[in-house]
Structure 1
Amino acid sequence: MAVYVYAVTRREHPCHLDGLTGVGSDAPPVRTLESGELRAVVSDVAEEVRPRRRDVIAHQAVLDRLMADGTPLPLQFGYTAPGDESVRQVLEERAGSYLDALAGVQGCAEYNVKAGQEESALLRDILDGSPRASSLNEEILGGDTDPRLPLELGQLVSAEVELRRSDASAELIRALAPLARAYVVHPPTGEDFLNLSLLVPRDGERPFLDAQAGLGLDAGPAVRTRLAGPLPPYSFVP
């Protein structure tokens, strides 16, 4: 039977999984498979796995339980294998890389910081700080119909937005990266200009959270940050 794989841990990880049911409509029990120094946390699955609310919650519940006793290598939702032996084979073949990765995340959790900026406040700041942009804007508002004016203003504003957001991203990374063991910058989505994942030691979470609480004050006008975590270290799995 196919198995759904939640995470890889070291063999000595407690894996307190009693009472947990896994992904799938039949709510199978969650169990472990061992190979050498490693364990895989799995459950049987007899159907196509889709991101239904119940299954996403079940997946996360397993990772939350594992995180309570240490740091696993989490797999993204939806990973399945043909059977127990195929999982053991992968553990054996990739033992070195899994053990190295587990050593890298030991005692840590992932935090994700997203940053965005209120567009109207940013545009006001650009117009206030750029004499040329302010002049162009006044000419356009005053009724000048020269088509070159809005084109030049648009190019100027676009370049300034890109520069300021790049500077703000660098400032936020400089503030937080020293408090993390590692970090990854993901492509931002929507109106965000920064999507940053950090691997933070659990014994260093308070300084990190204090620093994050003060973010945006020096990063630019109307910069807003959003924090998620502590999370399993999805961004730091090889």
Structure 2
Amino acid sequence: MAVYVYSITAAPHAPDLHGLTGVGETPAELRTVCAGPLCAVVSDAPEGLRSKRRDLVAHQAVQERLMAAGPVLPLRFGFTAPDDDAVRAVLTERREEYTQRLTALEGCAEYHVKAAIDEEVLLRRILQETPEARRLNDEIRAGSTRPELPLALGELVAHEVLARHQALASGVVEALRPHTRQERVSEPTGDDFLNISFLVDDEHRQVFLAAEKGLTHELGQEFDFRLYGPLPPYSFV
């Protein structure tokens, strides 16, 4: 029978699964599949599993319980294997890789940062601080009917928005990077100019959080700065 795989841990960290439920409309019992120094936390895979909130919460709860007891390699929601033997085979085949990764993640958590700036504020700054943009805007506002002006202004503003987004993202990363072990950058979505995950160890966690708080204060209310964590290190498995 197919099994749903939640995460991989070191065998000495015997996971306490009491009170946790698995994914699915009728959750199957959680159990461990072990091979040598590694264990995988699994349950029977439900049929037709979809990413409903109930199941996402159950998946995350398993990761957080395991993370509290020691390092964990969390798998993304929806990962399945054909059966327990297939799980054992992978644990055996990739034993060295998984063991090294668990050691590297000891005492670490993931923090995810997203950031955006108010669009009207940014456009106002561009028109005020970029002479050519200000000139083109003034001509349009003065009633010029030259058809090339709006296009030229639009292209200039788009270029400035991109450049300023990149500069802002770089500034945020440079401020936080000294207090982290690793980082993983993802493509920003929506209005965000930054979408990044940091791996932070226990020793630097408070310094990292203090730096983030100071950065938020420095950027001001026109920025939408979001910090998520501590999280299981999904981005660093």
TM-score normalized by the length of structure 1: 0.95
| Structure 1, 184-193 or 21-30: larger mean CA deviation | 21-30
Q: State the alpha-carbon separation in 2 of the partners of residues 139 and 5 from structure 1.
A: 62
Q: Secondary structure at the match of 2:69?
A: coil
Q: Secondary structure at the match of 1:138?
A: helix
Deviations 1:144-201 (A, max 9, x none): 0101111111111111111111111110010111111100110111110110100011
Task: List alignment gaps of at least 5 residues for structure 2.
Answer: none
Identify if the C-alpha distance between structure 1 residues 58 and 122 changes in structure 2 by more than 3 Å, giving closer, same or farther: same
> Does 2:27 correspond to 1:27?
yes
Q: C-alpha root-mean-square deviation of aligned residues, in Å?
A: 1.5
Q: Secondary structure at the match of 1:115?
A: strand
- Does the CA contact (< 8 Å) of 1:122 and 1:221 recur in 2? no
> Does 2:93 correspond to 1:93?
yes
> Does 2:179 correspond to 1:179?
yes
Q: Match of 1:49, as an amino acid?
A: L
Deviations 1:23-45 (A, max 9, x none): 12222221111101111011112
Shift of 1:221: 8.9
Task: List alignment gaps of at least 5 residues for structure 1.
Answer: none
> Does 2:201 correspond to 1:230?
no
| Structure 1, 43-52 or 108-117: larger mean CA deviation | 43-52
Q: State the alpha-carbon separation in 2 of the partners of residues 227 and 204 from structure 1.
A: 16
Shift of 1:220: 8.8
Q: Secondary structure at the match of 1:200?
A: strand
Q: Secondary structure at the match of 2:24?
A: coil
The number of equivalent residue pairs is 237
- Does the CA contact (< 8 Å) of 1:112 and 1:227 recur in 2? yes
Identity of aligned residues (%): 51
> Does 2:121 correspond to 1:121?
yes
Q: Secondary structure at the match of 2:51?
A: coil
- 1:3 paired residue number: 3
| Structure 1, 167-176 or 217-226: larger mean CA deviation | 217-226
- Does the CA contact (< 8 Å) of 1:19 and 1:29 recur in 2? no
| Structure 1, 202-211 or 171-180: larger mean CA deviation | 202-211
Kindly report structure 1 stretches of 4+ aligned residues shifted beyond 4 Å: 216-221
> Does 2:165 correspond to 1:136?
no
Q: Match of 1:230, as an amino acid?
A: P
- Does the CA contact (< 8 Å) of 1:172 and 1:216 recur in 2? no
